[in-house]
Amino acid sequence: MNNYLLISVIIVYLAFLFLIAFWAEKNSKSKWVNNPYIYVLSLAVYCSAWTYYGSVGIASQSGISFLTIYLGPVISLPLWILVMRKIIRVSKQHKISSIADFISLRYGNNRFLGALVTVICVFAIVPYISLQLKAISETFEIITDETSYVSTTILDDSTFYIAVLLAIFVAFFGTQATDASQRRKGIMTTVAVESILKLVFFLVAGIYVTFFLFDGTSDIYQQASQLDNFEKITSFNGLESGFNWMFIIMLSFFAIFLLPRQFHVAVVENDRERYLKKAIWMFPLYLLLFNVFVIFIAWGGNLSFQGDVNQDYYTLLLPLQNNNIVLAMTVFLGGFSAVISMVVVSTLALSTMVSNNLVIPYGFLDKFIQGNPEKNTNYIKNIRRISIFSLIIIAYFFYVNFSYELSLYSIGLISFVIIAQLAPSFFIGLFWNRGSAKAVKTGMMIGVLTVGYTLILPFVLNVLRGNNSFVEQGLFGIELLKPYAFLGIDFLSPEAHSFFWSMFLNTSSFLTISLLSKGNYRERNYAEMFINSSNYANLQDGAFVWKGEAYVSDIRSMLNRFLGEKRTERALHLFNMKYGISKEEEMADARLINFSEKLLTGSIGSASARILIGSVAKEEPVSLLEVLKILEESKETIAINKALKEKSEELTQLTEQLKTANTELLEQDRIKDEFLDTVAHELKTPITSIKAASEVLSDGHEMPPELKTKFLDNIVNDSDRLARLIHNILDLEKLSGGHDQLEIRTNQINKTIDKAIDGISQMANHKKVTIVHQNGTAIFANYDEDRMLQVLTNLLSNALKFSAPHKGAITVLAHQKQEAVEVVVEDNGKGIPAEDANYIFDKFYQAKHQNIKKPQGSGLGLAISKKIIESHHGKIWIDKKYKKGARFLFTIPK
Amino acid sequence: MKKILIVDDEPNIVMSLEYTFKKKNFEVYIARDGGEALHIAKEKIPDIVLLDIMMPNVDGYETLKKIKSNKSLKGIKVVFLSAKNKASDIEKGLQMGADKYITKPFSVKKLVLEINELLN
């Protein structure tokens, strides 16, 4: 393929990625940019060129052991819900932006530790990046020059330019904000897109090899099994090989947490904890898909080429051999994607660490103290940009000078072994509060030195001297010091061997020194905050123990230098609101110190933030015991506050209940008053009448006798009315108080109705109103017959009262319902106005309409009827829909 | 001859009052509620109205208000006759412009004396 054509394709592809990143930054609120799938796909930055090309290489030489690198992450993923969630929570709480920040903060915000972790990471990752560049260069070479597809040692300029373009990409999209703990949505979106592309392109290549070049999976297997080394590469060589497997799986288990790029995508770029739930099944699925065809491509390559090519590039060579340029191009772009995402994210993560944990805390603090916010922001961004370019350039030169010697797989593993030196401090530190900074530093350095002796030194000596005597004879010719078989352990692969020894020495020195020494109070304070992160989450800035003297104004002016006045004011305002602190407060407390350190941490790293805030705050040492006491107290305070809050809620509830009860009582009181008022008024009316008539009579000597009789009649009638009223009032009170003893017997309801009609028939006849009782079958019910007669008589006399003479007709009817007997009393009178229907059963209904309604009768009849029916557990109501007159219904249970 | 209008919905009370005032040479008119009372008042312009408060349709307060707001009726003396005997009720009645508030049950003799006093 033409060199320039390929370069054009590469440029177009890079432009496409720039565009995606640009779009994502512009639309940073879009749901296309903010979703769990972007998160899961960005985790797939794990699959670098090593996966894309290297797996096939290793599979063709040593069979399925390529899988170990993916088994570690897959095994780790169920743990993510527990471990990763904790890491994310702690990191968000402390605005952590890299693994160096995480470890150094955990051990008391130790500046040297942050720098050490950074150096280890750079040391491990730069060769790894150079390896990715090597893959680009080599595949570029293969695809442009079909005749010489062997590894080349010639510096290819295009790789250099691609490296520079990548650096520009990272520098542009990675330093948009000075706060490194903020998310880089542009970069993450391109990484996610690339993760899709590399997977799809690799699958296409796999399908092409398996089903087009060969006749399916069984065909490849059949043919491959004829090859000489087939037996060797598909079998599992006993216990020794088992140990190798186990160590490599452990290695990749650690790598998925500790690789700076993995920490960056999984922790710093995590938006919501719940995304983890998607990740724990989707990411393994992704890895599985990626590995489905590896073994078949490897076998296919072994069958098609006879050992004269770099097996790593079978995926690319197979389509080229069959003149399928388009597919080869696709494969190239897939590999290119894998490289870009790895290089971009690694450089981003490393540059943050280099600037925040190495350069700024060790050289630029004095400058910052004098600078203004704009200047400082520019300084910070420039330090990061220079870091990015330096890292990529160093990686490029490392590639030119060293990495052609090794395969993708071996350099990848060396990186993993070095990175694994962070594991003891990282994992144990998450759950054990004793680990001290001194122990971590010692353990890490011993671990790295071990790796240097057992893995790197042999490699470097080999390159420089061109012989292997160091490996074969050991240091000073001592057998036990052989770098690949230290103390006689000779059955492990160099990487597993190095991992075993370094991890053993690292962990044991970490544990021993931690147990022997006591950390300072700051270490213990952070240890508590990290380990009991969920306990202290609600304490927030309160979990930070600090004693000393500092002025708010000093801290404010320090924040101003980095955040600018506007952001500083806003942040402090929020802080004051959150803790209810007055704006006028002059002295800073521990919470403000911690809050301010966190504000600066994103921009300049935790170590620098502490030093800067420390420069304006006079801190007094606190003893370890005191730290524990203060933490315990603040935990207690929270518990007490919680209990108080609950109590106060209870009290509020009680008050509310009391209020309701009180309102009810007042209402009852008012009703009682009203009732008494009404009773008095009702009693006074006949008394007034009687008194007046008596006076008239006693004075009426010349009154005609018939008038006298009339007055006397009036007196008798009003006395009756008075007696009836008193009787009804007492009756109602008896029923209301529940003092009435019902004599309940089984009665036939129609007979009772007849009795009631008999009692009123004389008055009905007098008014010429007909009463019809539709008498059906015998219906039995349990009730007090006298009381029932009272109800029926009341309803009937009401009906009679409102019926027109001569035209009036009253109908009574009883029928069986499912669980009750229902009685209906209907008339064709003027009916009951709809607005009265709800009140008609109230005592002295006119009480509610004080001056307007006058009772016809005592005004208590329906109230009494209602009480009687209710004491029989029945219901009484008016049929509001009945328009031809009034229609009363009641039920009594059978 | 003085004209008196008795407004009450209790026929027995009305009967006693009617007899008494006729004997005292009043021209007596009867109304069962406020509406009827206003009607008669406009037609006959009585010198005095005996007014119950709790009546159907138009109550005593309403009737008083209407009498006092009518130019030709304004001068009529109004006496409330009511069983409502709370101080607040009495105060309300007088404030609305009633000339007297007499609580039920009342003495007929005393009532006559009070009315005469009011009219002279």
Quote the percentage of chain A above a pLDDT of 70.
90
Q: Does B34 touch chain A (CB under 8 A)?
A: no
* Residue in A833, A821, A825, A773 with CA at minimum distance from that of residue A798: A825
pLDDT of residue A1: 61
List pLDDT tens digits, range A519-551: 777 787 788 778 776 665 555 566 677 777 888
Set of chain B residues whose Cβ sits within 8 Å of the Cβ of A680: 83
Band (B88; pLDDT cuts 50, 70, 90): confident
Q: Does A678 touch chain B (CB under 8 A)?
A: no
Q: Is A420 helix (H, G, I), strand (E, B) or coil?
A: helix
The listed range with the strongest mean pLDDT (A229-233, A234-238, A397-401) is A397-401
Chain A closest CA to B7's CA: distance in Å? Answer: 14
| Pick among 3.30.465.10, 1.20.1530.20, 3.40.50.720, 3.40.50.2300: CATH of B3-119 | 3.40.50.2300
Q: Does A853 touch chain B (CB under 8 A)?
A: yes
Please name the residue ranges forming H helices in A95-110: 99-106
As to burial, measured by CB atoms within 10 angstroms (0-12 exposed, 13-18 middle, 19+ buried), residue A681 is: buried
Quote the percentage of chain A above a pLDDT of 90.
19
Set of chain B residues whose Cβ sits within 8 Å of the Cβ of A695: 16, 107-109
pLDDT of residue A93: 82
Class of the A3-427 domain? mainly alpha
Q: Does A851 touch chain B (CB under 8 A)?
A: yes
Q: Does A741 touch chain B (CB under 8 A)?
A: no
Segment (H or E) for B102: strand B100-103
Please say if the pLDDT value at position A84 is more than 60: yes
- Hey, are the CB atoms on A693 and B60 less than 8 Å from each other? no
| Pick among 1.10.287.130, 1.10.3720.10, 1.20.1250.20, 3.40.50.300: CATH of A632-736 | 1.10.287.130
- Hey, are the CB atoms on B19 and A680 less than 8 Å from each other? no
Q: Which of A695, A711, A854 sits opposite B9 (nearest CB)?
A: A854
Kindly report the number of other CB atoms within 10 A of residue A660's CB atom.
10
Set of chain A residues whose Cβ sits within 8 Å of the Cβ of B16: 689, 692-693, 695-696, 711
What chain A residue is nearest to B8 in terms of C-alpha separation? A685
Chain B closest CA to A867's CA: distance in Å? Answer: 27
List pLDDT tens digits, range A855-870: 456 678 888 898 899 8
Q: Does A478 touch chain B (CB under 8 A)?
A: no
- Hey, are the CB atoms on A854 and B109 less than 8 Å from each other? no
Set of chain A residues whose Cβ sits within 8 Å of the Cβ of B12: 689, 692-693, 714, 717-718
- Hey, are the CB atoms on B16 and A680 less than 8 Å from each other? no
Sequence ranges of the domains in chain A: 3-427, 544-622, 632-736, 741-893
Residue bearing the bigger pLDDT, A624 or B43: B43
Kindly report the number of other CB atoms within 10 A of residue B112's CB atom.
16
What chain B residue is nearest to A703 in terms of C-alpha separation? B19
List pLDDT tens digits, range A759-784: 888 888 888 999 998 877 788 888 99
Segment (H or E) for B23: helix B11-23
pLDDT of residue A42: 92
pLDDT of residue A474: 67
Q: CA angle, corner A270, sides to A600 and A49, nearest 5?
A: 110
Torsion of CA A773, A779, A784, A786, to 10 degrees: 20
Set of chain A residues whose Cβ sits within 8 Å of the Cβ of B8: none
Mutate to test the interface with B, among A678, A683, A685 (most CBs of B within 10 A): A685
pLDDT of residue A149: 38
Band (B20; pLDDT cuts 50, 70, 90): very high
Cβ contact A43:A191 at 8 Å: no
Q: Does A692 touch chain B (CB under 8 A)?
A: yes
Q: What whole-number distance in Å separates Cα of residue A202 and Cα of residue A315?
A: 8
- Hey, are the CB atoms on B83 and A851 less than 8 Å from each other? no
- Hey, are the CB atoms on A691 and B54 less than 8 Å from each other? no
Q: How many CB pairs under 8 A join A and B?
A: 75
Q: What whole-number distance in Å separates Cα of residue A283 and Cα of residue A192?
A: 12
List pLDDT tens digits, range A344-360: 899 999 998 998 888 88
- Hey, are the CB atoms on B108 and A710 less than 8 Å from each other? no
Report the range of poorest mean pLDDT among A188-202, A454-468, A554-568. Answer: A454-468
Q: What whole-number distance in Å separates Cα of residue A791 and Cα of residue A863?
A: 10
Residue bearing the bigger pLDDT, A410 or A501: A501
Q: Which of A684, A692, A850 sits opposite B16 (nearest CB)?
A: A692
Instruction: Look over chain A and give the mean of its residue pLDDT values, rounded to a whole number.
Output: 83
Mean pLDDT of A669-686: 84
Cβ contact A894:A819 at 8 Å: yes
Q: Which of B10, B60, B107 sits opposite A695 (nearest CB)?
A: B107
What chain B residue is nearest to A677 in terms of C-alpha separation? B84
pLDDT of residue A9: 87
- Hey, are the CB atoms on B106 and A693 less than 8 Å from each other? no
Q: Does A696 touch chain B (CB under 8 A)?
A: yes
Structure tokens at A839: 């009140």
pTM of the model: 0.64
Q: Does A713 touch chain B (CB under 8 A)?
A: no
- Hey, are the CB atoms on B53 and A851 less than 8 Å from each other? yes
List pLDDT tens digits, range B55-73: 877 889 999 999 999 888 9
Q: What whole-number distance in Å separates Cα of residue A315 and Cα of residue A205?
A: 7
Quote the percentage of chain B above a pLDDT of 70.
100
* Residue in B105, B93, B17, B86 with CA at minimum distance from that of residue B53: B93
Mean pLDDT of B87-106: 91
List pLDDT tens digits, range A291-346: 888 888 888 888 888 767 788 888 888 888 888 888 888 999 999 999 989 988 99
User: Euclidean distance between the first and final Cα of chain A, in Å?
Assistant: 100
* Assembly ipTM: 0.93
pLDDT of residue A858: 65
Which one-letter amino acid corresponds to residue A311? Answer: Q
Strands A820-827, A875-878: pairing kind? unpaired
Q: Does A793 touch chain B (CB under 8 A)?
A: no
- Hey, are the CB atoms on B12 and A680 less than 8 Å from each other? no
Set of chain B residues whose Cβ sits within 8 Å of the Cβ of A851: 53-55, 59-61
Count of residues for chain A? Answer: 894
Q: Which of B12, B60, B109 sits opposite A695 (nearest CB)?
A: B109
Residue bearing the bigger pLDDT, A481 or A864: A864
Segment (H or E) for A67: none
List pLDDT tens digits, range A380-415: 888 889 999 999 989 888 877 765 566 556 777 888
Set of chain A residues whose Cβ sits within 8 Å of the Cβ of B59: 851-852
Please say if the pLDDT value at position A248 is more than 90: no
pLDDT of residue A461: 76
Q: Which of B15, B59, B104 sits opposite A852 (nearest CB)?
A: B59
Which residue in the block uniquely carries the two structure tokens 């009905």? A764
Chain B closest CA to A760's CA: distance in Å? Answer: 25
- Distances in Å between the Cα of A656 and the Cα atoms of A649, A650, A662, A666, A668 are 10, 10, 10, 15, 18
Q: Does A695 touch chain B (CB under 8 A)?
A: yes
Q: What whole-number distance in Å separates Cα of residue A800 and Cα of residue A756?
A: 13
List pLDDT tens digits, range A413-472: 888 899 999 999 999 988 888 888 889 999 999 999 999 888 888 877 776 766 666 666
What is the third-level CATH fold of A741-893?
A: Heat Shock Protein 90 (3.30.565)
Mutate to test the interface with B, among A708, A854, A856 (most CBs of B within 10 A): A854
Q: Which of A699, A718, A851 sits opposite B54 (nearest CB)?
A: A851
Q: Does B20 touch chain A (CB under 8 A)?
A: yes
Sequence ranges of the domains in chain B: 3-119
pLDDT of residue A154: 43
Strands B27-31, A780-783: pairing kind? unpaired
Q: Does B9 touch chain A (CB under 8 A)?
A: yes
What chain B residue is nearest to A715 in terms of C-alpha separation? B12
Set of chain A residues whose Cβ sits within 8 Å of the Cβ of B113: none
A3-427 against A741-893: fold identical: no
Q: Which of A677, A689, A700 sits opposite B10 (nearest CB)?
A: A689
pLDDT of residue A729: 86
Band (A851; pLDDT cuts 50, 70, 90): very low
Strands A548-550, A745-748: pairing kind? unpaired
Chain A closest CA to B38's CA: distance in Å? Answer: 16
